[in-house]
Structure 1
Amino acid sequence: MSRSLPLVKNHPRRDEKDLYVETGYKILYEDEAFLIADKPAPLPVHPVGCFRQRNLLSLLQNAVGANGSGLQIVNRLDSETSGLVIVSRSPEIAGRLGVLFEKREVLKEYNAVVFGIPEKPKGSVEVPLGLKSGGVHNIRVPDQAGQDARTDYEVLSVAGEYSLLRIIPRTGRTHQIRVHLAFLGHPVVGDKIYIDPSIFERYIHEGWREDMRSVVKSERLLLHACRLEFRHPVTKKKMIFTSTLPSCFDPFLK
């Protein structure tokens, strides 16, 4: 059953020092062309808003030092989505990798814990997405005049009122997985925007409050970029990278 998605309203931001982020990223692979980072959540990938220093790119640049100026994030993840991020070491490599994404020659796989049990154990959500301005945060909404978007999913396991899904986005729209699963009637656990935008407003303004758990059930979004497959931009060798689920998923899998 589909759901309407309400608008996120405007509200004041807090200072960066008052907003919690997790900075403990890991480098899973690196060579002269690119590196693969395993991003924790919450952590923005780029300098944005209040997060001019506490973001993945700035942290990597500081760690690399003088050689970090050429680093570029190739595949963006939401701040609250954890998992695999490709970081190129030069604009040339970023361009080559970008072409692979444009040609849809990069396989991206995610895991998510969602509310409820999808009626079909395997399926696709193919609903165009449009943009609705929400002041502090623009949100994506189902819109027949919007951009084409398709998300494939498979139920991997069920534990009580929650399901663990394997997800392959066939297009790369912002918030695509989150909006499509909410549209399906099975939003991602911990999704402060697409479960109840008023929770997101409070979270940005006040930080996490335990009473929010009664609605979203988890302090962080239970969406994880767990697998990437693509051809190396220089050697053309097939590369496969995987990342295990963070421990915060565990209580929802038992």
Structure 2
Amino acid sequence: MATDSSTPLNVLRLRSCTLTSAFCRNIVHRHEPPVTSTPVRILHEDLERDFIIIDKPGSIPVHATGRYFYLSLVEILQNDFGYKKVYTVNRLDRLTSGLMIIGLSSKRAHLLAEEFLAGTIKKEYIARCTGEFPAEEVIVDQPLLTVDRQMGLNIVHPDGKQAKTVFNRLHYDANTNTSVLHYVFPPSGQPLTGRSHQIRVHLQFLGHPIANDPLYSETRIWGENLGKGGIDVTPTEERIAPIPPPQFQGSPNPERLTTPEQLISKPQQDEAESKADTSASAAQPSVEPEKPKLLPRETGHDIGMGSPVPLSAEAVGVITRLRNMKDEDEDWSRWRDVVFKAKALLHPQGMKIKAAPPQNQRKRGGPAWNGEGSMPPPPPSDTGVYSP
């Protein structure tokens, strides 16, 4: 994993869709997150056997995911290099650079995948971690579990899938206090146990996370200990509702789907108005508004809903801080953007929309057509016209 200080690339996505009888256009103006300007390189091309070998730079995802589409490796190979269709066989994390073998046909990709599964093809990794790694061989045999797919977070957990990593130190740099490690996958004579973020999480568990890892080597997320030795796995139901940053404290919470008007239900409003009309002298007790049931993402309970096991308080805190850091990196766009919550018909604030007349019915008392001559002109209608 390596950072790149070159000028980042940015892409503007415009998308539209059209329906059949009615015309509906959906335009999306979206800037994909920037990636490195280091180009993808084709190291070997074998058109006869339908595969290529490429050098993928760091920061480019292999497949379209999240906010990435045109800046994914598959789209770059098809749009910039002119390959009609590409089939990935192995994959690398978005921030990881390295070699990948790409099939140009589904049949070739299937054959190459079988060779990976059989252990015929081995992968070697080089990583720079923090601190002085032990000079002797280090074996980590800790199960891994994905606890939040939205953030792509994996931790060491007893209920996770078995994973074994064998590290060997190649070099230690005292000036930067970092070590260069070597890892062969799968290890010689060992079964295939490749897991998501396996190297990154096992190095974090040892207390030597990858030097520039924004996920597993960030003190704002894990604290000063950086998750060394794993985190607490004692389950808890405690959650904290999303809190906006200081500059948006007065703005509506985009995670909140309820409005002040919805805090009092319609029957309660009718009952309160009836009592006020029938008894002006007698003091009537105020009707306590019945608060609607809040959704999980309004209370913070959406954290852990996709986890296969109940989360601990420490895991919840890690995910919460990770989400906040992601929001900050995106300039708090989730709190700035206008979010429409369609729990009913949308009515622009301060404007009236007149209801449309029943379809296929003439207005009562209007002229009828007797079948001869031209049809009478329709009565003037203001349907669909906004009036302040």
TM, length-normalised to structure 1: 0.69
1:188 equivalent in structure 2: 210
1:162 equivalent in structure 2: 178
Q: 1:201 to 1:21 in 2, by over 3 A?
A: farther
Corresponding residue to 1:175 among 182, 194, 197: 197
Give the residue type in structure 1 aligned to 2:130: F
Q: 1:112 to 1:16 in 2, by over 3 A?
A: farther
2:33 equivalent in structure 1: 19
Q: Tell me the SS of whatever aligns to 1:158.
A: strand
1:56 equivalent in structure 2: 73
Give a deviation string over 1:153-174, Cα, whole Å, max 9, x none: 1111111111011122323211
Corresponding residue to 1:99 among 104, 114, 128: 114
1:202 equivalent in structure 2: 325
Q: 1:178 to 1:168 in 2, by over 3 A?
A: same
Q: Which has the higher contact order (CA 8 A, sep 6+)?
A: 1
Give the residue type in structure 1 aligned to 2:74: L
* Structure 2 contact 144–162 (Cα < 8 Å) conserved: yes
Q: 1:27 to 1:125 in 2, by over 3 A?
A: same
* Structure 1 contact 178–187 (Cα < 8 Å) conserved: yes
Aligned length: 191
Any unmatched runs of 5+ in structure 1?
1-14, 209-254
Question: In the alignment, does 2:61 pair up with 1:47?
Answer: no
- CA distance in 2: counterparts of 1:55 and 1:25, whole angstroms: 11
Give a deviation string over 1:126-149, Cα, whole Å, max 9, x none: 211111126x31311112222121
Q: Quick one: percent identity of the two aligned structures?
A: 34
1:226 equivalent in structure 2: none
Q: CA deviation at 1:79?
A: 0.7
1:220 equivalent in structure 2: none
Give the residue type in structure 1 aligned to 2:182: R
Corresponding residue to 2:52 among 12, 32, 35: 35
Q: CA deviation at 1:185?
A: 1.1
- CA distance in 2: counterparts of 1:182 and 1:50, whole angstroms: 27
Which of structures 1 and 2 has the bigger CA Rg? Answer: 2
Q: CA deviation at 1:201?
A: 5.0
Give a deviation string over 1:18-40, Cα, whole Å, max 9, x none: 52212511111110221111011
* Structure 1 contact 16–51 (Cα < 8 Å) conserved: no
Stretches of 4+ moved more than 3 A in 1? 197-201
Give the residue type in structure 2 aligned to 1:165: L
2:91 equivalent in structure 1: 76
Q: CA RMSD in A?
A: 2.2
What aligned pairs does 1:125-136 form with structure 2 within 5 A after superposition?
125-133=140-148, 136=150
* Structure 2 contact 32–71 (Cα < 8 Å) conserved: no
Q: 1:101 to 1:191 in 2, by over 3 A?
A: same
Give the residue type in structure 2 aligned to 1:108: K
Give a deviation string over 1:85-114, Cα, whole Å, max 9, x none: 111111111111111122222211111110
TM, length-normalised to structure 2: 0.46
Q: 1:193 to 1:102 in 2, by over 3 A?
A: same
* Structure 1 contact 150–169 (Cα < 8 Å) conserved: no
- CA distance in 1: counterparts of 2:120 and 2:166, whole angstroms: 16
Q: 1:72 to 1:155 in 2, by over 3 A?
A: same
* Structure 1 contact 192–199 (Cα < 8 Å) conserved: no
Q: Tell me the SS of whatever aligns to 1:68.
A: coil
Give a deviation string over 1:44-75, Cα, whole Å, max 9, x none: 0111111111111100011343x422x11111
- After the TM superposition, which of the residue ranges 185-194 and 120-129 deviates more from structure 2? 120-129
- After the TM superposition, which of the residue ranges 125-134 and 170-179 deviates more from structure 2? 125-134
Give a deviation string over 1:178-230, Cα, whole Å, max 9, x none: 0111111110011111123446853564269xxxxxxxxxxxxxxxxxxxxxx
